[in-house]
Structure formats: structure tokens, C-alpha cells
Amino acid sequence: MANVNPSHEHTGTEPIGPGNADALDAANLALVEGLHKSFWVLKAIMVVLVVLYALSGWFSVKPNEVGIITRFGSVAGGPTGEILRPGWHWSWPYPIEGHQRVSVSERELPIQFIEKRTDEEEISGKLGYKFNDRLSPDRDDYLVTGDANILHSLLKVKYRITDPIAYVNHVKPMPKPDASVTSGPLHEHFAEYSILSNLTRDAVIEISVAWKALEIRGSRQNEFLGEVAVCVIRKLNELKAAGTPLGITVDPVTGIVAPKTAGNEGVYPPRQVQKDFDEVFATQTRKAQEIAKAEADAEELLTQAAGAAHPAISKAIDKEFRAMLAVSKAEGHGNTDDIELAGLRNSLEEKRAEVENMILAASGQVRAIIRMSQVYKDAIEKEAIADWKKIEALLPEYRRNPDILFARLGAENYAVALANDKLTKWWLYPGNEVRIKIQDSPRKPDDETDRDPTFRRKVTIDQDEVDLKGILPRSTALRQ
């Protein structure tokens, strides 16, 4: 091997030309050229890796999602960090920055208080009607109600992530659920599965002890579920006030539901007492239907009687009645101040006037009755005025000689009766006694006197019963 001048150091960057090619042998020349080419390849690879590293910071946010950039494990910008909308975004790659995508669509978690089921029931979802074993706290899950009854339930809590930053800060770092990545229901992979399930279960248990079993299972089930939702919201707010907001929102109306599954109710009694519950529930349902029908009939009758204003009229009548009781009580004690008593009476008169005005303005049968009463009142007044004028006209003659007045009036009436062709007359001998027998029992609806404007009357003369055909209107027949 040829000697190389040690004072001459080759840096690898000098061009190799014909002038110094004799200083290197073939092996060194090949090595230098190989290192030179490898260095350029390495630089190219490094450039490509840097470009790929920078491009790895690009990420997309899908619809119904929001994105949040984290820097060294914490949300960039703190509690008020930027929330990224759907689209493409860039952040510094790991480990400097990262990103979290949070779904803002509605989620559901099942909240179950159910009994131990057989494999067949688990597969079909349908419960057998009979079950011989008793309930066991070690095996079965159930609710205890306020009337010391037991219910099972299959509830769902519906919620949304409305504060993604709080969700990333406080929910994402929670220990992951036990469900494996490849098995288990989808909801068990949610980071909030454990805490939200426990909060909702506590709320259901807390509210159940204040309700009766038939109310929870019956017509007031929606009210019960609403109270549970409000209780869950209160617990979430308590966590927020304690400095641990979860960023989760539950709707107070539709946040807790009890859907039917495979024909089974969302809330149902134990199978051991299912039959008894069904009988009581059916009776309660019939009772509610009868009450609803009675209320509907009452509303219809009241509307027919006083129109749409009947609720206000009823309230005004109640106020008048209470005012009347107050006046009666004050007058009965005898030690009420005159001024106070006068105030109570004035209040009664005001409420009475208010009721009368409302009744006069009401529609329906009340208005018809009032109009008929007014017409009848006017007719009585006119008849009374006419009678008074007649008496007033006869008064001077009566004062002069009442016997002559009565004789004249009797003669006039006698002449009118004789001239009336509809009256039947009898000539009686002097000294004969006439007795008229009037039946006291009321006539039947199908009596011939109701069918025919004329009717027969029986008159007893000297113990002999004689049919007398009187062609008289019914109004004058009683005066015969």
C-alpha cells in the first residue's frame, strides 16, 4: 500500500482530480466517493423527514365535531382556548402540540336497574312472565320507591358536550373504562361513562324515594323522569361550582327517557308481582278515564250554561261567597267595629255587583234564562200596572156604593159567560146542592187531557155522578 502524506488532510469536500489521484489508492477513492454520496442521501432523507414531521401537524375536524389544540398536554390558551370548527387545521406535531376531536352530537348512556336474566332473555330481550327465585340484592338491581315498593327500570340519559374545553381538561384525563377496544357497547368507550352513569344512578335513587310506584309507572312517569333530569343537572352544576366542570349538558325535559325495548316497558315491576301490579294499574287507569270523562262533561255543561267565561264567573262567585261568610261572621260576633263591618259589607256589595255584571254579559243558557226572566218580569209589571189602573178606575164607584159595583160586575161577567159558546150551562132548581169532586192525584203524561185540548169532567150532583162535557181551555178548567 502506498504511503500518504500525513501533513495533507483530505476533508472529503475537495474535488478529486487528476492532480491528486495518485495520492490515493483505489480502495480509499471508492470509500471517499461512497461517503460523499451517502452524505447527500442522508441530507435528502432528513429533509423529507422534516417535511413529513411538519405535515403530520395537519388534521381534519369532521362535521358534528370540534377540535382543540393541546400544547405539552394542556389546552393551548388555557380555559379560554380556541375551539376549531369542522375543516382542516394545523398544529405543531407531537411532542410540542397535539389535538383532540370532541363529538358535539347527542350521546346516550343506558342506566339500568334490572334483575338477573337468563341467557335466553339476554339474547331475545324479552322477559319471561314467571320467575321462581326471589329478588336478591347481591344478584338483582332495583329501585325502592317512597311507598316501599320495588321497580325495575331501563332508562337512558341523553346529553351533549357543550363545553369541549372543560370536557378535555376534566373528563378526557379520567381513567379509561374497563371495556376493551374490540368489544363492549359503544357507550362504554366514552370517557364520561363512569362518572355520568354514577351521577344519573344517584339521581334516580334519590328521586324514587319521594314517589309512589304507580305514579312512576303510570301517567306521571314523564314528571318523574323530568325530576331525575333536573337532579342530574343540579349535580353537574355542583361539580362546576367545585371547580370541576365536565362540559356536559342534559336537557331538563328530554334528558332522561324510559323507552320500550322488545315490547317491554322502560319501568316495570318485578315479575313475581307483575299480575298484581297489572290489576291495580288497570283499575287506576279506569279511574283516571272516569275522572277525565267527568271533567269533560262538567266543562261541557258549564260552557253550555255560561259560555267560555264560566271559570271567571265561578271564581267571582267564590269570592262573593267568602265575602258573605266574612260579613256573617262579623255580624255574629257582635264585637266587630262599625267601620270594619261597613268595609266588609261594601266589599260584599262590590263582589255581588261584579258577579251580576259577569252573569249579564255571559253567553249560553244563562243569557237565555236571564232574558226569559226579564220578559216575565216585564209581563208581571205590565199586568200589575193594568190591574192597578183598573182598580184605580173602579175605586170612586166602590167608595160611593160597593154593593152596586159588585152587582154590576157580576152581571157583566154573567152575561159574558152566557154569551160564551164554549161553556156548558146547567139550570138548577132552588134548594139543590151541587158538589164538585176534584181528583188530587196528578194526571199521567199519557192522560187524554194531555192529548186533547178538550176533556171530560165529572161533577157529582146529589150523589149522582154525571158526565159533563166541558169544552174549556185547561187554564179555565181549574177555575170552574
DSSP 324-377: HHHHHHHHHHS-S-HHHHHHHHHHHHHHHHHHHHHHHH--THHHHHHHHHHHHH
With 80 as the cut, is the pLDDT of residue 57 above it? yes
Exposed e or buried b for every residue in 9-21, given b needs 16+ CB within 10 A? eeeeeeeeeeeee
115: CATH: 3.30.479.30
Q: Which residue, among 157, 154, 158, has the nearest Cα to 113 in the 3D structure?
A: 154
Tell me, yes or no, whether 41 lies in a domain. no
Separation of CA 223 from chain center: 8
Tell me, yes or no, whether 206 lies in a domain. yes
pLDDT of 178: 52
In total, how many domains does the chain have?
4
Residue 250's pLDDT band (boundaries 50, 70, 90)?
very high
Q: What letter represents residue 42's amino acid?
A: L
Tell me, yes or no, whether 89 lies in a domain. yes
Residue 465 CB neighbours (<10 A): 9
With 70 as the cut, is the pLDDT of residue 130 above it? no
Domain boundary among 269, 300, 332: 269
**Are residues 262 and 113 part of one domain?**
yes
pLDDT of 175: 61
Distance CA 238, CA 232 (A): 10
pLDDT of 386: 92
Do residues 232 and 288 make contact, with C-beta atoms less than 8 angstroms apart? Answer: no
**Are residues 258 and 136 part of one domain?**
yes
Q: Which residue, among 225, 179, 223, 178, has the nearest Cα to 203 in the 3D structure?
A: 225
Domain that holds residue 321: 286-361
Tell me, yes or no, whether 181 lies in a domain. yes
Tell me, yes or no, whether 342 lies in a domain. yes
* Phi, psi values for residue 448, rounded to 5°: -65, -20
pLDDT of 472: 35
Residue 290's pLDDT band (boundaries 50, 70, 90)?
very high
Choice among 48-62, 79-93, 399-413, 424-438 with the minimum mean pLDDT: 424-438
**Are residues 142 and 116 part of one domain?**
yes
Q: What letter represents residue 45's amino acid?
A: I
**Are residues 141 and 250 part of one domain?**
yes
**Are residues 126 and 86 part of one domain?**
no
**Are residues 292 and 260 part of one domain?**
no
Domain boundary among 219, 240, 269: 269
Residue 430's pLDDT band (boundaries 50, 70, 90)?
confident
pLDDT of 439: 65
**Are residues 342 and 256 part of one domain?**
no
With 70 as the cut, is the pLDDT of residue 4 above it? no
pLDDT of 444: 54
pLDDT of 224: 96
What's the mean pLDDT when you consider all of the chain? 80
What's the predicted TM-score (pTM) here? Answer: 0.56
Retrieve residue 364's grid coordinates.
249560553
Which tens digit of pLDDT belongs to each residue from 204-247?
999 999 999 988 988 789 999 999 999 999 999 999 999 999 99
**Are residues 264 and 127 part of one domain?**
yes
The helix/strand/coil state of 30 is helix
Average pLDDT estimate for 79-108: 85
pLDDT of 458: 42
Q: Which residue, among 4, 208, 28, has the nearest Cα to 111 in the 3D structure?
A: 208
Do residues 329 and 341 make contact, with C-beta atoms less than 8 angstroms apart? Answer: no
Task: For residue 161, list its beta bridge partners.
Answer: 248
Distance CA 191, CA 248 (A): 12
**Are residues 249 and 113 part of one domain?**
yes
Tell me, yes or no, whether 10 lies in a domain. no
Which tens digit of pLDDT belongs to each residue from 158-215?
999 999 999 988 887 766 555 444 455 666 777 888 899 999 999 999 999 999 998 8
Separation of CA 82 from chain center: 40
With 50 as the cut, is the pLDDT of residue 304 above it? yes
Tell me, yes or no, whether 392 lies in a domain. no
Which tens digit of pLDDT belongs to each residue from 326-345?
988 888 877 778 888 888 89
Domain boundary among 317, 336, 361: 361
pLDDT of 56: 83
Q: Identify the residue whose cell numbers are 278515564.
A: 289
With 90 as the cut, is the pLDDT of residue 255 above it? yes
With 50 as the cut, is the pLDDT of residue 469 above it? no
**Are residues 121 and 227 part of one domain?**
yes
**Are residues 210 and 121 part of one domain?**
yes
Kindly state the percentage of the chain with pLDDT values over 70. 78
The region, left, alpha or beta by phi > 0 then psi within -120 to 50, assigned to residue 307 is left
Residue 443's pLDDT band (boundaries 50, 70, 90)?
low
User: Is residue 87 exposed (0-12), middle (13-18) or buried (19+ Cβ within 10 Å)?
Assistant: exposed
Tell me, yes or no, whether 153 lies in a domain. yes
Taken in order 397, 403, 407, 409, is the CA torsion positive or negative?
A: positive
Distance CA 330, CA 343 (A): 11
**Are residues 200 and 250 part of one domain?**
yes
Choice among 20-29, 77-86, 114-123, 429-438 with the minimum mean pLDDT: 20-29
